[in-house]
Structures are given as C-alpha cells and as structure tokens.
C-alpha cells in the first residue's frame, strides 16, 4: 500500500531575505515530518520532498497559501517509503545552477518559451518543422529520452549556454525543450529566445507530468530523479529500454552511483556487472579504501554535511 508521497516542484518568484527564509522553511518542513532536498535562492524555490500523504498535503497547502508561490505546480508520486533519509533546505545563488544570473538577460518571470501541456506537446512532437531538445545532462538522457530528441554533450546544466552555437541550425524550427520537471527549461528556453530563436516551447511539468497525463508515449527508457529512487518509469504506452551497461554494453534500465564515494559517477549498469564490480563503475574503484557496501540499489546516503550554509 502506498502510504507516502513524493513531491517535485519549483517556483520562480523573488524571495526577500532568502537565507533567513531557508532557515525558517527547514524548521517548518521538519515540524510536519517531511524529508527531502530544497534549494532556496533570491529567485525562488526548487524542491523534492517526501512524507506521509497528510504531511505532503499540509506542505502543498502552506506553499500555495503564500502569494509568492501560489502558482506552484506540484508533481505528486505515491511511494511505498519516503524518498529521502533527511531534510535539507539550503540557500544558493540559483535554484538550478546555470550561471545565468543576470535578470536583465534571463528572467523566467518575464520571458520563457511557450508552455505546452503534455497533450499539446504530444500532438506536436511528430511534426516535420519541430525539433525536440533535451536540456538535461549526459547521464540523464543516456538513461531515457524522447524518441528522436536532440541531446547535448553536457555534464551539468551550467554547460548549456556553451552549446547555443551548436543549436543554431534549428533556428528556423519550432524548438520544443524538455527536462525532468520543467525548471531547467525555464532558463534554457529564455536563453534560446535571447539568442534569436523565435519559436521556442517548453514541456510544462516536464517528463514527470508528461508520464502522468499523456502516458509517457514516445519517451524511451527511464527518467532519472534526484532522490533514492534514482530512476522512475514514465511510458505506459510504448515503453522501450534504450540505455546500455557502462561496462559490458548489455541493454539495461538500471542506473547506479559508483560505490567509490570519491567517484560517485552516475552510470547505467546491469545487475551482473554490478555484482561483479561491487557497485563500482570500474575495477579501479573497487579498491578504494572508502568504497561503500553495495546492496544492489546503487544508491548511497551522502556523508552528512552542514545544512543551510550560504553559498554565494
């Protein structure tokens, strides 16, 4: 029985005294029994939290009762157990690290691509004048992506601005951007518009919402998520596994974090190689003195760090 929920959400909305807000928000989340990870910045909120259905309902009600965040769109998953171990709420310079901090150039509250609901996105993806653009990192789109999507060779979203010139060939197309929950597309689509792309769209609610409302049709593989589930199924219409084992090349839908904590690489790995390499991405990593015990999941609780330390 699914007695818990996991909420994925973001909201671009200015927060005065955001560092203090992060401290207060952490206390509130703990008081209602939530676990998860929330990033607070001057520009807004970005979070994934998990807890009982009652706690999640209380959290959503509190967020929507705040005029600054009333427009927040929550993606809700029913889960068997909480998707995190602890509750973290940290202040950072951006709610998604892009390096695009100049509000005179990129401000999602002023200009972004046209938001497409899942049904609208679904109708457009096969049109001849459309390009589907995945704005996520390599390890994410290697695990799963939309059929015929253009993917970028980036290790982190902050590298996206460097790829704009490579995308210039699509300026005369309708560019449909997508990511996990929609947050990266807010800035990616705005940057494309800034660089002269005239017909730019974004999948509202991202892959997660598309899976819930459109059955995930034509999304191939699994979707990487930033909690202890690691990956979730999306497509219930025409599912297909597209990822292969990093070590042997065998088709596999499974993703792990390397058991060597100093590597911690995200890789797709079959169970056979996982057992053989003890959850490591390579033979070299198996000899690391701090190698973590592999339990078959490939997920490890990070070494505890101080929370709410301002990063400027």
pLDDT average, residue stretch 149-164: 95
pLDDT tens for 166-187 read 999 999 999 999 999 999 999 9
CATH 3.30.70.100, the chain: domain bounds: 4-91
Please report how many Cα atoms fall inside a 13 Å half-sphere around the Cα of residue 166, on the Cβ side. Answer: 12
The DSSP secondary-structure symbol of 251 reads B
First vs last Cα of the chain: how many Å apart? Answer: 43
For residue 304, what pLDDT band results from cuts at 50, 70 and 90? very low
Q: What does the angle CA 131 – CA 135 – CA 129 come to, to the nearest 5 degrees?
A: 5
114-220: CATH architecture = 3-Layer(aba) Sandwich (3.40)
Residue 249, token pair as written in the block: 């090349």
pLDDT of residue 228: 87
pTM for the whole thing? Answer: 0.90
Q: Give the CA diameter of the chain.
A: 54
Least confident stretch, 43-57, 152-166, 293-307: 293-307
Confidence check: pLDDT of 303 > 50: no
| Cβ pair 47, 36 in contact under 8 A | yes
Q: What is the mean pLDDT of the chain?
A: 93
Strand partners, 115: 202
For residue 299, what pLDDT band results from cuts at 50, 70 and 90? confident
| Cβ pair 178, 120 in contact under 8 A | no
CATH 3.40.250.10, the chain: domain bounds: 114-220
- Note the Cα 81 to chain centre separation in Å: 20
Q: Give me the DSSP letters along 3-61.
A: -EEEEEEEEE---TTHHHHHHHHHHHHHHTT-EEEEEEETTEEEEEEEEEHHHHHHHHH
Q: Which residues are catalytic?
A: 179
State the alpha helices, DSSP H only, in the chain: 18-31, 53-65, 118-124, 138-143, 183-194, 206-214, 271-276, 283-286
pLDDT of residue 77: 95
Instruction: Please say whether the structural domain 4-91 has been given the CATH code 3.30.70.100.
Output: yes
pLDDT average, residue stretch 296-312: 57
């Amino acid at each position: 029985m699914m007695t818990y929920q996991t909420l994925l959400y973001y909201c671009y909305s200015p927060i005065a005294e955001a560092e203090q807000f992060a401290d207060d928000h952490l206390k509130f989340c703990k008081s209602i029994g939530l676990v998860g990870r929330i990033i607070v910045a001057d520009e807004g909120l970005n979070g994934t939290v998990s807890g009982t259905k009652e706690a999640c309902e209380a959290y959503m009600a509190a967020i929507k009762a705040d005029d600054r965040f009333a427009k927040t769109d929550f993606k809700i998953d029913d889960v068997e157990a909480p998707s995190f171990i602890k509750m973290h709420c940290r202040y950072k310079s951006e709610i998604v690290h892009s390096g695009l901090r100049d509000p005179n150039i990129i401000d999602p509250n002023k200009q972004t691509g046209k938001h497409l609901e899942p049904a609208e996105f679904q109708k457009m993806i096969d049109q001849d004048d459309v390009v589907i653009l995945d704005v996520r990192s390599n390890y994410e789109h290697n695990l799963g992506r939309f059929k015929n999507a253009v993917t970028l060779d980036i290790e982190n979203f902050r590298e996206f601005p460097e790829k704009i010139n490579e995308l210039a060939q699509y300026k005369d197309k309708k560019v449909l951007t997508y990511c996990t929950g929609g947050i990266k597309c807010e800035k990616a689509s705005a940057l494309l518009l800034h660089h002269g792309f005239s017909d730019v769209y974004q999948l509202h609610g991202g892959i997660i919402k598309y899976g819930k409302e459109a059955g995930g049709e034509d999304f191939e593989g699994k979707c990487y998520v930033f909690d202890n589930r690691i990956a979730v199924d999306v497509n219930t219409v025409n599912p297909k596994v597209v990822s292969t084992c990093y070590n042997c090349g065998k088709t596999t839908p499974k993703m792990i974090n390397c058991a060597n904590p100093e590597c911690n690489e995200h890789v797709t790995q079959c169970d056979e190689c996982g057992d053989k390499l003890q959850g490591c991405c390579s033979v070299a990593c198996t000899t690391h003195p701090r190698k973590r015990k592999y339990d078959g999941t490939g997920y490890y609780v990070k070494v505890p760090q101080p929370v709410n330390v301002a990063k400027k």
